[in-house]
């Protein structure tokens, strides 16, 4: 159905639209008009606006995509400074699982000023074709330019599924592409399944983590999904390459982009808990900020790093970059110790892939014990000092 939209940057707050509306469907809030539920989309406000700040949006009905025309899986292989982002390989691993047992080709697209090495490396991971867009204009990320190239690739090869890493770059690129192609996108998926009819089941926590939603895009193609780093498993690298590379011509729209490169400045490196092999994590069971010193001491004694849950990050006890969870980072360390963490799904969805999980919590019914390999029901203020003393004695020996 049609909708009325107000372009705030054009609006001068004259209020004429609110005065002319026959249904009192426009309220003036903080000097600007705001539509309420009484709007009938009659268009009187649009005609009355002297600034042309009100537009009518018409929804388009879709008759459904020809699923038979869209086949295979395309992975956007992100690279930076000539090196593939690790999430790209994890997406290829997931694509191979989805394609198993079916006639589904796996393709990858890589963009940059020089992508030769990255394209050749991708052929060692079971990719059938690697589409390369190579040009000096792709030396740095511009959302419009990268979208032009990937849209060109998608329209030519018609993949049924497009997988994009939920990196800063991917989170900017995927929505733009889904909008251009008028199709659906599910962000931060934790699991993917592919039905026989080609529908991708995109699974992710929803409603504050209270349920695991299964989302499908049954009427349009392609089906977009973004996946975080460290959620999926990367495949083993084959000794010999297979598949082929296809050099793609650069779309003309790339050279017409109004975005210009002014300067490049390196971003200072910060703690990246996603890369840690040993992590000690604290939750709301920690009573005081000063007690974070115990968590850091244990992490140091084990040769690892420390992390927190969202409540502690919101209190300012640790930087947001050290938060595990849907609004933080996903981790898969070899060893994860949790103290005072009950294990809400927002947290466990982003750490359950850890190789060894040791959980300490006073509540024997805490959800964390469902994913932990070793569970200790007890007071962290007794368990943690005892563990530190034991490590100190071992160090003396």
CA distance 126 to 89: 10
pLDDT bracket for residue 62 (50, 70, 90) = low
The CATH number of the domain where 200 resides is what? 3.40.50.620
pLDDT of 288 over the 60 cut: yes
Query: For residue 109, what are its two tokens?
Result: 């697209």
CB 9 within 8 A of CB 54: no
Residue entry with tokens 């709301």:
284
Q: Are residues 15 and 100 in the same domain?
A: no
CA distances from 224 to 70, 79, 122, 160 (A): 13, 19, 21, 9
Q: Are residues 281 and 209 in the same domain?
A: no
CA distance 378 to 295: 16
Q: Are residues 42 and 121 in the same domain?
A: no
Query: For residue 118, what are its two tokens?
Result: 């990255």
Q: Which of 13, 28, 57 is the last residue of a domain?
A: 57
pLDDT of 96 over the 90 cut: yes
Q: Are residues 285 and 347 in the same domain?
A: yes
pLDDT of 223 over the 60 cut: yes
265 lies in some domain:
no
CA distance 141 to 80: 9
50 lies in some domain:
yes
368 lies in some domain:
yes
Domain span at 23: 3-57
CA distance 17 to 9: 16
CA distances from 239 to 90, 93, 106, 186 (A): 18, 16, 19, 34
Q: Are residues 119 and 239 in the same domain?
A: yes
Q: Are residues 39 and 112 in the same domain?
A: no
Q: Are residues 31 and 120 in the same domain?
A: no
266 lies in some domain:
no
Q: Pairing mode, if any, of strands 129-134 and 244-247?
A: parallel
Q: Are residues 11 and 123 in the same domain?
A: no
pLDDT bracket for residue 59 (50, 70, 90) = low
**3-state secondary structure string, 134-172?**
ECHHHCCCCHHHHHHHHHHHHHHHCCCEEEEECCHHHHH
86 lies in some domain:
yes
Tens digit of pLDDT for each residue in 173-207? 999 999 999 999 999 999 999 999 999 999 998 87
Position 182 scores a pLDDT of 92
Which of 66-70, 79-83, 92-96, 333-337 has the weakest average pLDDT?
Answer: 79-83
The CATH number of the domain where 340 resides is what? 3.40.50.1220
Q: Are residues 46 and 73 in the same domain?
A: no
Query: For residue 325, what are its two tokens?
Result: 């969870």
Task: Quote the percentage of the chain above a pLDDT of 70.
Answer: 98
For the chain, what is the mean pLDDT?
93
């Amino acid at each position: 159905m049609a909708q009325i939209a107000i372009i705030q940057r054009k609006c001068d707050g004259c209020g004429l639209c609110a005065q002319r509306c026959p249904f009192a469907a426009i309220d003036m809030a903080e000097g600007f008009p705001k539509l309420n539920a009484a709007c009938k989309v009659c268009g009187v406000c649009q005609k009355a606006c002297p600034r042309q700040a009100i537009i009518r949006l018409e929804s388009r009905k879709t008759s459904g995509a020809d699923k038979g025309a869209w086949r295979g899986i395309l992975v956007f292989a992100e690279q930076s400074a000539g090196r593939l982002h690790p999430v790209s390989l994890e997406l290829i691993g997931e694509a191979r699982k989805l394609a198993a047992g079916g006639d589904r080709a796996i393709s990858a697209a890589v963009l940059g000023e020089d992508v030769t090495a990255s394209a050749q490396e991708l052929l060692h991971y079971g990719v059938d074709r690697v589409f390369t867009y190579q040009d000096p204009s792709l030396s740095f990320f511009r959302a419009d330019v990268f979208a032009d190239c990937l849209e060109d690739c998608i329209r030519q090869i018609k993949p049924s599924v497009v997988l994009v890493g939920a990196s800063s770059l991917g989170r900017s690129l995927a929505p733009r592409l889904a909008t251009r192609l008028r199709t659906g996108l599910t962000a931060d998926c934790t699991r993917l399944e592919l039905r026989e009819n080609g529908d991708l089941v995109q699974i992710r926590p929803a409603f504050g983590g209270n349920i695991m939603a299964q989302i499908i895009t049954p009427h349009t193609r392609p089906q977009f999904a973004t996946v975080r780093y460290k959620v999926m498993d990367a495949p083993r690298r084959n000794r010999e390459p297979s598949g082929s590379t296809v050099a793609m011509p650069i779309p003309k729209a790339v050279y017409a982009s109004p975005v210009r490169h002014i300067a490049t400045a390196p971003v200072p490196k910060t703690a990246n808990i996603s890369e840690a092999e040993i992590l000690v994590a604290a939750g709301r069971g920690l009573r005081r900020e000063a007690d974070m010193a115990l968590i850091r001491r244990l992490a140091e004694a084990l040769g690892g790093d420390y992390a927190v849950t969202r409540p502690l990050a919101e209190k300012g006890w640790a930087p947001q970059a050290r938060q595990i969870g849907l609004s933080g980072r996903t981790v898969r360390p070899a060893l994860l110790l949790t103290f005072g963490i009950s294990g809400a799904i927002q947290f466990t969805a982003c750490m359950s892939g850890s190789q060894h999980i040791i959980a300490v919590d006073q509540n024997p019914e805490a959800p964390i014990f469902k994913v932990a390999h070793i569970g200790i029901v007890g007071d962290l203020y007794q368990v943690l000092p005892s563990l530190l003393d034991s490590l100190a004695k071992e160090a003396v020996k």
